[in-house]
Structure 1
Amino acid sequence: MHVSVENTGGLERKLTIQVPGDEIQQKVDGRLKELSKQVRIKGFRPGRVPMSVVRQRYGKQAKQEIVSEAIQNSLQQAIADEKLRPAAMPRLDAPPRDLDNGDLEFDAVIEVYPEIDTIDTDSLEIEKLEADVEDGDVDEMLKTLREQRRSWEEVERAAKEDDQVVIEFAAEGEEGRVPEEGTTRMAIVIGGSGFEEMEKLVTGLKAGDEKKKKLAFPEGFREAALAGTKAKAEIAVVKVAEPQIPEVDEAFIESFGIEDGTLDGLKAEIRGNLERELKQARVAVLKNGLVDALLATVPELEVPQAVVRDEAAGMAAQILSSQGQEPDQALVQQLAGQFMEPAEKRVRAGLMMGELAQQNGIRVDAAKVREAIETVASTYEQPAEVVQLYYSNERLMQQVESSVLEEQVVDWVLEHAKVTPKKTSFQEVIAAATNSGE
């Protein structure tokens, strides 16, 4: 077997592989010999079919099978011999060729992972946010909980700030009408929907009013065909309702599982939840700062675009699932382009983390993996069954191990980097975590 490797640009490599023709013919003959013992052809006794008859009837099929196997096997061998690290499945852009000397030749194109030099973590400078949960944070969350439990009372007046406006809706966009027929019902809370142009449109309207206007739909709009586009909207107001905020009474408190039914008990529960949220947010911000610092050490690091595309598709599918939509392939691919930039950052970060683990001999800690699984399992009614499920599912285990190893790398880097503490507030830490995309 002869192999040549051409760098066609970036991380793409073109492999030209030649497989000796006599090797292929030998395997074809062996395959036909096996068939001659198995096939049943009228006029011949089993196992006595002449090779010439077997070759005439099955020769083409046997050669196709052997050539296919030869391509797969020789490609794997070539990748190993050339010490390439494929980032995605190789592709064959053209059929294999029969050379004049009888050899088989084919081209395969692959993307490889980049080579990363030793990463200097001692020079990294990272900011570490520090904050506490204050009484004001607890009171603000209590207010939020009351608003989440609000009910709506229909009113016969024009819509204003904080009202809920239920509308029948349709829009004509670049890809046609949404929905194709009729209308779809949706509720808009003025000042809280995240769709400011629609909020402005319904403000001042009352039940029975209709309006048409071209709107810029937000990226996260529930109708994917309209998300991030401009379209002419037609709305009809069904009803206007104002919020009814519940009092903090015994029934309200007990609805959160507070056994003693006291406000102090509810506030203690809220504080505990906020402290856990704060801890997670601080870790998220710290990790994001660490990743940014790491990426800055290798600003020109190339990443395999096939991996970036897969990551972007995964992010799009996750968004669709969180919105209650079925993430079918066409819709995922349509939205994936919006996530290419954050996907590339994730892939770059993952490569850096993996390289740090490799360069510094960091291995995944089985005890920490167990702890992570048990933490997840503790949120279910049958934690033991969930633990068993994880350990019996290779894909789930790989996800947990990857996450744990990343945490170990983060801890290792923080031990070596220059970390500067910065005192701030609970709200600022949460906002920083949200902005970091964690």
Structure 2
Amino acid sequence: MQVRIEDVSPVEKKMFVEIPWETVSQRLGNAYKELGKGVALKGFRKGKVPRPVLEQVYGQRVNAEVAYELVRESFFRANQEHQLAAVAEPRVEEAAAIKKGQPFTFAAIIEVRGEVAPQDYKGLAIEKRKLAIPETAVDEALAALRREHTELRPIEGRDVTAAGDIVGLSVSGTIGEHQINQPQFAVDLDDEEREPLPGMRQALLGIPLDSKDQKLELQIPEDYKDESIRGRKAELTFTVLEVRAKEVPALDDEFAKDTGKADTLDGLRAALRKDLEERESETIDREAREGVLRELVKKNQIPIAASLVERAVEMQYQRLRQMLGMKPDRKDPTAGLTDDLREKMRPQGADEVRGQLLLEAIADKETIAVTDQELNKHVDETAKARNIAPAKLRAEWQRDGRIDNVTYSLRQDKVLKYLVEQATVTEVETLSQPGTPLPGVSEGVSEGEAHEGHVHGPDCNH
């Protein structure tokens, strides 16, 4: 086989291939031999059809199949021998028909990773928020903890609802043109944020505990958050199913002890502040990594293969569907991804790929690697979060071929931390511009992202 490679662009090469007739003839012979085993034609016993007859009936199909296999094999061989670093299957542009006694020739465009030489990646200017937890945040955390420890008691000594009650209802009726039929749901008469409809909490205050088939009319404001029912009139019929009174614990030392976090109320506030500071520190560190990655990509607008961008766009779209609570379409994961939406998502997809390639190159240049101890620690932490044995999780990842991808993503995150350490950092109260999260890199590693953490190519095993 003769192969000639020409550069088309920094991320494209053209491959010219000539395969001698001897090789083509052997492949054709094997194909007809395999075909003949299962073919039964009129006048011939199964497996006894002469090759000339097979060529006459199936020649066009066999030639196409052999040509396809020769192209694929030639591509993978050339990719390895010439170290092309291809990132997608070849795009055949010129292919001669298979003719007896003549070599088979074809030309194909191959998208490649291209040379990645990161520039100016040390001393990147980034902002980092100061760690500041206001007392109001501690108050909110304390209030949330009280809600967790709130008990619901049967109503005693009264026959109407009151503030602090949880009212279970069945509701039917209409809101404008929308039909409503909720056989069972609860309304917290104290919780304004989760009020099902504006004015509903007030309407349910002071009603008999055994209310049945009661009418309720509400006018939805024109500026209501749900656009679909703005300005509509709600005409409902409800029945009270159950009412419970909330017993909220007092804010005292006994409550602190009940939480198991501290022995005194002051100690509980201190413990909650520490938790908030730890979470906020993690957020600030993540923002710094996102910021340094944004600046790195901004300074290194390297050319990238179109197929990598399209793949990144499709992954972004699938993540977007998951964020919106949409079920994945297994038959067509990109269902609904219109051309206009693709076009809008391409710039971010391109920068996502650039970020991954640049981080890989920096890791190689700075000899940054993931140690066995670091990988083991990640396995242990993930196993603990999933409440399974670390050995079982590792075996699962090895069985599914995820270990290498998890290691890759850990390495990417390690490079980001290195870049933050090397950056010129300005502490600020508020970031002037947010970083762009790049899943599989700046968000750390999660099991669901294991296959997203690197730039895929034809040699991937998934």
Global fold match (TM > 0.5) = yes
How far does residue 86 in structure 1 lie from its aligned partner after superposition?
2.0
Distance 2:265 2:397 in 1: 42
Distance 1:183 1:8 in 2: 62
How far does residue 295 in structure 1 lie from its aligned partner after superposition?
1.9
Q: How far does the alpha carbon of each residue in 1:93-142 deviate from its partner, in whole angstroms, 9 at most, with x for none?
A: 68763479733333433332232225343443344444254544322433
Distance 2:427 2:65 in 1: 65
Distance 2:303 2:435 in 1: 27
1:279-294 to structure 2, matched below 5 A, reads 279-294=281-296
Distance 2:264 2:173 in 1: 40
Counterpart of 1:17?
Answer: 17
Residue 411 (structure 2) pairs with residue 405 (structure 1): yes
Structure 1: which amino acid aligns with 2:425? T
Structure 1: which amino acid aligns with 2:106? F
SS of the residue aligned with 1:420?
Answer: strand
Distance 1:401 1:108 in 2: 34
How far does residue 352 in structure 1 lie from its aligned partner after superposition?
0.8
Residue 375 (structure 2) pairs with residue 369 (structure 1): yes
Counterpart of 2:260?
Answer: 258
Change (3 A) 1:435 1:51: closer
Distance 2:280 2:399 in 1: 32
Q: How far does the alpha carbon of each residue in 1:403-427 deviate from its partner, in whole angstroms, 9 at most, with x for none?
A: 2101221243345x24335264xxx
8 Å contact kept, 2:11–2:114: yes
8 Å contact kept, 1:390–1:397: no
Structure 2: which amino acid aligns with 1:142? L
Distance 1:288 1:250 in 2: 40
Change (3 A) 1:209 1:110: farther
Structure 1: which amino acid aligns with 2:424? V
How far does residue 65 in structure 1 lie from its aligned partner after superposition?
3.9
Q: How far does the alpha carbon of each residue in 1:9-35 deviate from its partner, in whole angstroms, 9 at most, with x for none?
A: 673444443333342013323554677
In the alignment, structure 1 segments of 5+ residues that lack a partner are 156-165, 172-178, 194-198, 218-229
8 Å contact kept, 2:150–2:247: yes
User: Pick from 399, 417, 425: which aligns with 1:420?
Assistant: 425
How far does residue 70 in structure 1 lie from its aligned partner after superposition?
0.9
**Greater displacement, 66-75 / 382-391:** 382-391
8 Å contact kept, 1:282–1:433: no
Q: State TM-score, norm by structure 1.
A: 0.66
**Greater displacement, 204-213 / 117-126:** 204-213
SS of the residue aligned with 2:313?
Answer: helix
Change (3 A) 1:346 1:324: same
In the alignment, structure 2 segments of 5+ residues that lack a partner are 152-159, 162-171, 204-215, 239-244, 444-462
SS of the residue aligned with 2:288?
Answer: helix
Change (3 A) 1:101 1:55: closer
Higher percent of residues as helix = 1
8 Å contact kept, 1:13–1:110: yes
8 Å contact kept, 1:21–1:103: yes
Structure 1: which amino acid aligns with 2:87? A
Identity percentage of aligned residues? 20
Q: How far does the alpha carbon of each residue in 1:36-84 deviate from its partner, in whole angstroms, 9 at most, with x for none?
A: 7998999999998866567667766654443222111112223334432
How far does residue 286 in structure 1 lie from its aligned partner after superposition?
1.6
Residue 287 (structure 2) pairs with residue 296 (structure 1): no
Structure 2: which amino acid aligns with 1:106? F
How far does residue 432 in structure 1 lie from its aligned partner after superposition?
7.5
Change (3 A) 1:56 1:309: closer
8 Å contact kept, 1:212–1:234: yes
Structure 2: which amino acid aligns with 1:285? E
SS of the residue aligned with 2:427?
Answer: strand
8 Å contact kept, 1:87–1:111: yes
Count of equivalent residues = 394
Change (3 A) 1:360 1:65: same
Counterpart of 1:84?
Answer: 84
Counterpart of 2:348?
Answer: 342
Runs of 4+ deviating beyond 6 Å: 34-50, 146-151, 166-171, 182-187, 189-193, 202-206, 210-217, 230-234, 431-435
Counterpart of 1:249?
Answer: 250
1:222-237 to structure 2, matched below 5 A, reads 235=232, 237=234
Structure 2: which amino acid aligns with 1:374? D
1:30-179 to structure 2, matched below 5 A, reads 30-32=30-32, 62-92=62-92, 97-98=97-98, 102-133=102-133, 135-143=135-143
SS of the residue aligned with 1:102?
Answer: coil
Residue 366 (structure 2) pairs with residue 360 (structure 1): yes
8 Å contact kept, 1:96–1:107: no
Distance 1:191 1:95 in 2: 69
SS of the residue aligned with 1:97?
Answer: coil
Change (3 A) 1:16 1:210: farther
User: Pick from 390, 398, 402: which aligns with 1:392?
Assistant: 398
Q: How far does the alpha carbon of each residue in 1:143-164 deviate from its partner, in whole angstroms, 9 at most, with x for none?
A: 466689999xx99xxxxxxxxx
Q: State TM-score, norm by structure 2.
A: 0.64
**Greater displacement, 301-310 / 96-105:** 96-105
SS of the residue aligned with 2:18?
Answer: strand
How far does residue 294 in structure 1 lie from its aligned partner after superposition?
1.6
8 Å contact kept, 1:141–1:270: yes
Change (3 A) 1:419 1:234: same
8 Å contact kept, 2:20–2:102: yes
Residue 28 (structure 2) pairs with residue 28 (structure 1): yes
SS of the residue aligned with 1:325?
Answer: coil
Distance 1:254 1:396 in 2: 43
Distance 2:233 2:14 in 1: 59
8 Å contact kept, 1:95–1:106: yes
Counterpart of 2:329?
Answer: 328
**Greater displacement, 253-262 / 339-348:** 253-262
8 Å contact kept, 2:150–2:248: no
Counterpart of 2:156?
Answer: none
SS of the residue aligned with 2:424?
Answer: strand
Distance 2:281 2:23 in 1: 63
